[in-house]
Structure 1
Amino acid sequence: MQNRPTYGIQSVDHALRLAAMLQQEGPLRVSDAAERLGVARSTAHRLLAMLVYRDFAEQDEDRRYVAGPVLRRPSAPEPAVELRRVALPHLQDLTARTDETTNLVVVVGDQARFVASVECDRVLRVGDRGGRVLPAHLASGGRAVLATRDEDDLRALYGGAGSPVADLDGLVRELRRIRRQGFAVNDQRTETGVTAVGAAVPADGLAGGISISMPTARYRRDRLTEWAGLLATTARGIAHDLGAG
């Protein structure tokens, strides 16, 4: 039996209950959520909107809310806690060097989950991505990690019915190029106005990647070599410290 916290935050409790309902019971309409929680429809709508923003929920074609990528992601074990601890100082240094937001992702199945972000101080910047989930074949860090994998594994992962990849041969060719050059670019594939450059962390048994995210207005192809070099140095530093730990 669990006791209710003395200083419980009602809005957090409501959001967690909604997430559990979506995962365990299936689709909800705003009116259903309001009735279950005993709150106004406007309150239920705001709570659901925040769950959508953090990828705990999404809307289907009937405008019902269903479990999002975070609640659906595979349950394979991830060394995310230790990876995050080791990577954060390196991300902070990378952000200081680039003056852009940096991220750490872990790839599980065909999804890339952001486990840490370090925002830069610029007024116009990419915000904290922590907790968000993106398709691995689109996110820069996810693409860099996929590029390290055997092509037979990639075809097994993306070759089945309902695959999110329409041109598997094209993806395999792209990943070969990413493997050769050592970095991947996501130029507005997942969000209009946001461009990212990513690299894999070279550690055995670790599906981790890092990225530099920036407003597309500041993205310059002539700086790719510079950014790729900084990412490679940062990724090696993280891998070294993981091994040392």
Structure 2
Amino acid sequence: MANGTAVQSVDRAIDLLEILTDLGGEAALSELAGSSGLPLPTIHRLMRTLVVRGYARQLPSRRYALGPRLIRLGESAGRQLGAGTRPHLELLARELGESANLAMIDRDMAVYVAQASSSHSMRMFTEVGRRVFCHSTGVGKAVLAQLPDTTVREIVARVGMPPATDQSITDVDALLAEMARIRSQGYAIDDGEQEVGVRCFAVPVPHAPTPTALSVSGPAARVTYEFGENALPLLHRVAEQISTELISAG
């Protein structure tokens, strides 16, 4: 049910698009019903409207899939989010010589919204729009550290803690201890937790409208702990600049 000033039909249509995304971008009517709890006639009516508008499409198998008009919306949203922050990321990549990323939380996951690549031939590349689990990434942990422990527990309960590598944190109490450490020191480290041989230093973007984090990452042979000590003051300074711009834009 929609709350407050929300329009119920719009609320339900957006829910169905998000459920369709979570199900891999394609689902049968019965799967949408099982995940949404809505009656089949309601789902059918809403999905037909989304199909007519191009936000969904129906496959020959009668299953529904995400529609082409979402591409235009996603590209536009990505450009808008990334446009103002990209110069800051390019500065980081130029000054530090490694890839810089900006990510924010979206439906319990961290989503990358902007990136500037390293000039090295061996570099880290993260696709803008990619969604990752928060517990095993530097930006994700820096995002979670901005939330109360109760909220962190709720997020983990909903999405789980699947290990990306054998270094990933898989215990909620260990994750909460990590959150306390991040809040105390002001930064997060992903030490091969998302990808073997890769290290990442991440800092929160303070006071952002949505919990957001900034990171620099690369091969562990180059992104050493000494590298991190030198990089963190610049990361914090740039995070403050991005924060000011995000608040002004909001």
Q: TM-score, normalised by structure 2?
A: 0.63
Secondary structure (helix, strand or coil) at the match of 1:217 reads coil
Question: What's the counterpart of residue 161 of structure 2?
Answer: 164
Residue 143 of structure 2 aligns to which amino acid in structure 1? Answer: V
Consecutive unaligned residues in structure 1, runs of 5 or more: 1-18, 27-66, 68-78
Question: What's the counterpart of residue 222 of structure 1?
Answer: 226
Question: What's the counterpart of residue 90 of structure 1?
Answer: 88
| CA spacing shift, 1:163–1:128, aligned 2, 3 Å | closer
Question: What's the counterpart of residue 26 of structure 2?
Answer: 24
Is 1:108–1:207's contact at 8 Å kept on the other side of the alignment?
A: no
| CA spacing shift, 1:81–1:202, aligned 2, 3 Å | farther
RMSD: 2.4
1:109 Cα offset (Å): 3.3
Question: What's the counterpart of residue 198 of structure 1?
Answer: 202
* Structure 1 outlier segments of 4+, above 3 Å: 79-83
Alignment deviations for residues 204-226 of structure 1 (CA, whole Å, 9 cap, x no partner): 43221111011122121123222
What is the alpha-carbon distance in structure 1 between the residues aligned to residue 177 and residue 120 of structure 2?
A: 36
Is 2:209–2:247's contact at 8 Å kept on the other side of the alignment?
A: no
What is the alpha-carbon distance in structure 1 between the residues aligned to residue 244 and residue 81 of structure 2?
A: 12
Secondary structure (helix, strand or coil) at the match of 2:123 reads coil
1:83 Cα offset (Å): 3.4
What is the alpha-carbon distance in structure 2 between the residues aligned to residue 208 and residue 221 of structure 1?
A: 23
Residue 241 of structure 1 aligns to which amino acid in structure 2? Answer: E
Q: TM-score, normalised by structure 1?
A: 0.64
The 10-residue stretch of structure 1 (108-117 or 168-177) with the greater mean CA deviation from structure 2: 108-117
Percent identity reads: 28
**Equivalent of residue 209 in structure 1, options 208, 213, 221:** 213
Question: What's the counterpart of residue 242 of structure 1?
Answer: 246
| CA spacing shift, 1:145–1:22, aligned 2, 3 Å | closer
Structure 1 residue 112 corresponds to structure 2 residue 110: yes
Alignment deviations for residues 67-115 of structure 1 (CA, whole Å, 9 cap, x no partner): 9xxxxxxxxxxx8654322211110111111011111112123311112
| CA spacing shift, 1:176–1:82, aligned 2, 3 Å | farther
